[in-house]
Chains A and B, each alone.
Chain A
Amino acid sequence: AQTVTQSQPEMSVQEAETVTLSCTYDTSESDYYLFWYKQPPSRQMILVIRQEAYKQQNATENRFSVNFQKAAKSFSLKISDSQLGDAAMYFCAYRSATQGAQKLVFGQGTRLTINP
Chain B
Amino acid sequence: NAGVMQNPRHLVRRRGQEARLRCSPMKGHSHVYWYRQLPEEGLKFMVYLQKENIIDESGMPKERFSAEFPKEGPSILRIQQVVRGDSAAYFCASSPLPSAGPNSPLHFGNGTRLTVT
Chain A contributes a number of interface residues (CB within 8 A of B) equal to 27
CB of B51 to closest CB in A, whole Å: 15
Contact at B43–A50, with CB atoms within 8 Å?
A: no
Name which of A91, A97, A104 has the most chain B CB atoms within 10 A of its CB. Answer: A104
Our pick among A42, A103, A108, A109 for the contact of B45 (Cβ within 8 Å) is: A103
Q: Which residues of chain A from 51 to 90 have any CB-CB distance to chain B below 8 Å in the complex?
A: 52
Our pick among A44, A50, A103, A105 for the contact of B56 (Cβ within 8 Å) is: A103
- Closest residue of B by beta carbon distance from A111: B40
Contact at B111–A43, with CB atoms within 8 Å?
A: yes
- Beyond A43-B111, A103-B33, whether A35 also contacts B45 by CB under 8 A is no
Assess whether A20 is interfacial by the CB under 8 Å rule. Answer: no
**Residues in B whose Cβ lies below 8 Å from that of A97:** 102
Range for the number of chain B residues in contact with chain A: 20 to 34
Contact at A101–B111, with CB atoms within 8 Å?
A: no
* Contact code string A1-17 (vs B, CB < 8 Å = 1, else 0): 00010100000000000
Contact at B44–A106, with CB atoms within 8 Å?
A: yes
Assess whether B42 is interfacial by the CB under 8 Å rule. Answer: yes
- Closest residue of B by beta carbon distance from A43: B111
Our pick among A44, A50, A91, A103 for the contact of B48 (Cβ within 8 Å) is: A103
The 6 closest A-B pairs by CB, nearest first: A45-B108, A106-B42, A103-B45, A102-B102, A106-B43, A108-B42
Which of A's residues lie within 8 Å of B, judged by CB? 4, 6, 32-33, 35, 42-45, 47, 50, 52, 91, 95-97, 99-109
- Given A103-B45, A104-B45, A106-B42; 12 other pairs, CB 8 A cutoff: A43-B89, A44-B110, A45-B43, A45-B93, A50-B105, A102-B98, A103-B33, A103-B56, A104-B93, A104-B106, A108-B42, A109-B41
